[in-house]
Structure 1
Amino acid sequence: MLFAAKPFKQRTGRLKNRERRIDGRRAGHPASQTGSQAEKSRTPRTERQARKPAPARTENPAGEGSTARPMTRRTGERPVERVPVILESRGAGDFHLIDSGSGLKLEQYGPYRIVRPEAQALWQPSLPPAVWQKVDAIFTGDTDEDGMGRWKFPREALGETWPLSLLGIDFLGRFTSFRHVGVFPEQIVHWEWLKRQVEAAGRPVKVLNLFGYTGVASLVAAAAGAEVTHVDASKKAIGWARENQALSQLERAPIRWICEDAMKFIQREERRGNRYDIILTDPPKFGRGPNGETWHLFEHLPLMLDVCRNLLSANALGLVLTAYSIRASFYSIHELMRETMRGAGGVVESGELVIREGGLGRDGDGRALSTSLFSRWVPE
C-alpha cells in the first residue's frame, strides 16, 4: 500500500519550494533555521544602498559561524546507479491525498479535509466543486512555500493542533502560518524503508536524523529499536517533536534531541569519531541556525554529504537525501551522491517521491503528484 519503485522516462526536476517552517518554519520537511528553514530577510534596500557596489562574497562553505574543513578527495569506483526511480505513496494511517488540480490539493488528515496550494497540480480537479467546498480548513495567502498566510475554517473554528497517526506513531498535526501541518507524508516511503532496515539488522542500529523537523522519522526509527540522534535548529521543532514523543509513549526510547546548527553538529561528530548506521538528511533550500549560521543548499550540500560519508559506520545501512525547493533535475543530487560515495561500493538510487490520489474512498488510482527529489545510497 505504501510504495512502489518503478523506472520512468526522463523527468526534469522539482520546482517545489519547500522551505518549511513552524509559524516561521518552511515546510514541503519550512523556515526557521539551519535544520528547519529560516525566514528570509525582506528588508528593502534604500536607494542609496542600492547604488553601492555589492561586497565580494566570502561565505564560509560550512555556513557563517561554522568552522569549515576541506572537501575529502575521494578515489575508487563510483557506486552502481539505479535511475530513474519513482517512490510512490498512496497514503497511510490518517493521511491520504483525495484530489488535486488548478494549483491546489485536497487532503485528508485524520478527521479533517484540508485544501492547500500545490504548484505542481497543473491539471483540473477530478472531483466536482461540491466536494472541494465541503472542507474543514483552507490555507490562504502567499502561495510561495516560504510565504506566510492564514487558515480559513469554513465549517467551524478548529483548534491549533489535533492528533494524527502514521506507521503506528502518534503525533500532533498543527495549522502553521506557513501552510504546513507537521508532517510530509511523501516521506512515508523512506520511513517504511528505515523501519525495515532497523528491524532486519539483527543488531543495534544508530540513526542520525538531520533537519529532523517534528520528529516523526525519529520516532519511527526508535519504535523499531534504533538509537536515534535528532538534530534541528528550531526550538519550536524540537519542542513539537518532544510532544510527539510523549503522545507515542516513547519517552523511554533512546532519542537525543539536539537543537543546533546541523553543519556544526556533524563536523563536531566527525572530529569525535562518532559513527552512524543510517543517516537521513532533509535540508531546506535556505536556513538560518540559532546563532545566525546560514545554509544555502547549492553551496553547502556537497560539504554536508562529504561529512555524512565520514560519519557512516563500517557496516552502514544507508544514507538518504531528500531535496525540495530547488530548480534542478534529480540527476544533480544523484551525481553528487555517487561522487560522495566513490569507493564505498553499493548502489545509489535517485528519482522522485510522488503521492497517488486516492479519491474519497482512499483506494482510487488517480494521478501521481510529484513532491520532491531524493537520492539514497545503500550498501547492497
Structure 2
Amino acid sequence: MKNKERRPGATRKAPASGNNRSSSRPAAGQRRFEDAPARAESAKGRERPAAEAPRAAAQAEAQPARALIERSGERPAERVPVILETPGAGDFHLIDSGNQLKLEQYGPYRIVRPEGQALWKPSLPAHVWEKVDAVFTGDIDEEGAGRWRFPREALGETWPLQLLDVDFHGRFTSFRHVGVFPEQIVHWTWMKNEIEAAKRPLKVLNLFGYTGVASLVAARAGAEVTHVDASKKAIGWGRENQSLSRLDRAPIRWICEDAMKFIQREERRGNRYDIILTDPPKFGRGPNGEVWQLFDHLPLMLDICRELLSRDARGLVLTAYSIRASFYSIHELMRETMRGRGGVVESGELVIRESGLSGKETGRALSTSLFSRWVPK
C-alpha cells in the first residue's frame, strides 16, 4: 500500500498500477493503491523464484474461500465526507509542496520526494528546496526502483525518528519511502486514546503492519498487539524498532504470513480483537505465492474482520492508497459489512497540512489516501 509505505501480507510485484504512490496519480477521490515495489522494499513479503511463482499462485487461488456471510439489520449511521488532517507530529512535518514534489522534515533531515497530487507551485523559494539533505531521483514510478541523491554529504541508510512517544528507524529505501506513513498519525492518535481510556487491556490486530510504528504506538499505550506482514524484511525492521523504543517486553506478536490466511485461521479459532487496522495493497503476493487483488478480495477480508471484532470492539479501520475509486466505494462496503452491528461508519480522506519551515505555519492540504472507519458510536 503506502506498504504508506502500506498491504494482505504480500510483496507487490506490481502490474501497471501501484499501491500507494504512483508517478501518474489521479486526482483526490480517484486514487490507485500502492503496489509491489513500495512494499516489496518495505512491508509485504518475499517473491518466490520465477519458476515456482505461477505454480504457487495457482495453488493459492485454488484454495476454497468461505462465502460472504449474508448480513441483515440496519446499516450503521454514516458521517461523510470526513477529512482527517495531520499537521505533523514528533519528528515529522510537511514543509512545502508543489510541481509534483513534496519537501518534508524527518528529524534532522529535509527530504524531497515525488508527489503527483501536488499540482500547484511551491510556496517557498527555490533556494529553500535546494538546501536539502536527500532527494529521491531516477525512476519515480512505484513499479521500479529509483535512487537517492545527497546534495550536502553522504548519509547512512538509517537514522532515528520519533512519533507519538515511539522511537523507530527511518530508512532511505529504493522505492522512495522512509519507513513511516505520517498521514496515519490521525488513526494512531485515535487508537492510542481508545486504548488509554479503556478499563482493560485492549487487543489490537495490525494487518499489513509494515515497519510496526502503529503496533508500537498501541503497545506503548497498553494494548496486546498482533502484527501481521508477509515480509520477513519488514518484520525484522519492526523488531528493530521495538528494541529502539525500549518495548522489548511489550506484548507484541510478530507474524510473518499472508494476511488472508492468518485472519481465516483466527476466525476458525474464535479469536477476537478490539481494534483492527488494515491497510491492504491493490495487488500483492504472500510469502508462498498467495495472490491478492484488492477489488476481488477486499469484501471477504472485511467480512472476516467483522467476525474477528470483539463484542465490545472499539473500531475497524481501512485505509486505501491510490485506488481508482471514490471513498464512497469503501464507505458503502464498510456499511454493508457492518449491517446489524450499530455504530457509525465515517469515511473520507487523509490529508497532511503544510506547516512551513518552522512547523507551525498553516499551508495547503495535501491529500494522501482514502479511509473508512467503523466505530461503535
TM superposition score category, shorter chain reference: 0.7 to 0.9
Task: Work out the CA distance in 2 between the residues paired with 1:192 and 1:66.
Answer: 38
Shift of 1:16: 5.0
Task: Work out the CA distance in 2 between the residues paired with 1:65 and 1:264.
Answer: 13
Shift of 1:41: 11
Corresponding residue of 2:17: none
Corresponding residue of 1:31: 40
Q: Which 4+ residue blocks in structure 1 deviate beyond 3 angstroms?
A: 37-43
Instruction: Output the amino acid matched with 2:267.
Output: E
Shift of 1:59: 7.6
Shift of 1:64: 2.8
Corresponding residue of 1:47: none
Superposed counterparts of 1:264-343, under 5 Å = 264-343=261-340
Corresponding residue of 2:31: 15
Task: Work out the CA distance in 1 between the residues paired with 2:174 and 2:48.
Answer: 15
Corresponding residue of 1:215: 212
Superposed counterparts of 1:130-145, under 5 Å = 130-145=127-142
Q: Deviations over 1:332-366 (max 9, x none)?
A: 00000000001000000000000000000111110
Shift of 1:145: 2.6
Shift of 1:17: 4.5
Corresponding residue of 1:172: 169
Q: Count how many residue pairs are aligned between Structure 1 and Structure 2.
A: 346
Task: Work out the CA distance in 2 between the residues paired with 1:143 and 1:238.
Answer: 26
Task: Work out the CA distance in 2 between the residues paired with 1:65 and 1:292.
Answer: 12
Shift of 1:159: 0.3
Q: Deviations over 1:235-283 (max 9, x none)?
A: 0000000000000000000000000000000000000000000000011
Corresponding residue of 1:127: 124
Shift of 1:286: 1.2
1:14 touches 1:373 (CA, 8 Å); kept in 2? no
Task: Work out the CA distance in 2 between the residues paired with 1:84 and 1:13.
Answer: 11
1:66 touches 1:293 (CA, 8 Å); kept in 2? no
Cα 1:41/1:95, change in 2 over 3 Å: farther
Corresponding residue of 2:7: none
Calculate the TM-score normalised by the size of structure 1: 0.87
1:208 touches 1:228 (CA, 8 Å); kept in 2? yes
Alignment pair present for 1:377 and 2:364: no
Task: Work out the CA distance in 1 between the residues paired with 2:286 and 2:346.
Answer: 30
Q: Deviations over 1:3-55 (max 9, x none)?
A: xxxxxxxx951435433x6xxx41xxx2369x627789999xxxxxxxxxxxx
Cα 1:38/1:342, change in 2 over 3 Å: farther
1:218 touches 1:230 (CA, 8 Å); kept in 2? yes
1:93 touches 1:167 (CA, 8 Å); kept in 2? yes
Cα 1:201/1:143, change in 2 over 3 Å: same
Task: Work out the CA distance in 2 between the residues paired with 1:41 and 1:84.
Answer: 44
Shift of 1:141: 1.9
Task: Work out the CA distance in 2 between the residues paired with 1:73 and 1:313.
Answer: 19
1:31 touches 1:286 (CA, 8 Å); kept in 2? no
Task: Work out the CA distance in 1 between the residues paired with 2:172 and 2:47.
Answer: 18
Identity of counterpart residues, as a percentage? 77
Corresponding residue of 1:82: 79
Give 1:245's match in structure 2, choosing from 213, 238, 242: 242
1:31 touches 1:287 (CA, 8 Å); kept in 2? no
Task: Work out the CA distance in 1 between the residues paired with 2:157 and 2:68.
Answer: 44
Shift of 1:146: 3.2
Task: Work out the CA distance in 2 between the residues paired with 1:378 and 1:168.
Answer: 25
1:64 touches 1:292 (CA, 8 Å); kept in 2? no
Alignment pair present for 1:262 and 2:259: yes
CA RMSD across the alignment: 2.1
* Structure 2 unaligned residues grouped into runs of 5+: 1-26, 52-56
Corresponding residue of 1:54: none
2:168 touches 2:241 (CA, 8 Å); kept in 1? yes
Instruction: Output the amino acid matched with 2:251.
Output: P
Task: Work out the CA distance in 2 between the residues paired with 1:17 and 1:223.
Answer: 29
Corresponding residue of 2:180: 183
Task: Work out the CA distance in 2 between the residues paired with 1:32 and 1:312.
Answer: 31
Cα 1:309/1:159, change in 2 over 3 Å: same
Alignment pair present for 1:351 and 2:359: no
2:209 touches 2:228 (CA, 8 Å); kept in 1? yes
2:277 touches 2:317 (CA, 8 Å); kept in 1? yes
2:102 touches 2:113 (CA, 8 Å); kept in 1? yes
2:94 touches 2:355 (CA, 8 Å); kept in 1? yes
Instruction: Output the amino acid matched with 1:241.
Output: G
Calculate the TM-score normalised by the size of structure 2: 0.88
Secondary structure in 1 aligned to 2:360?
coil
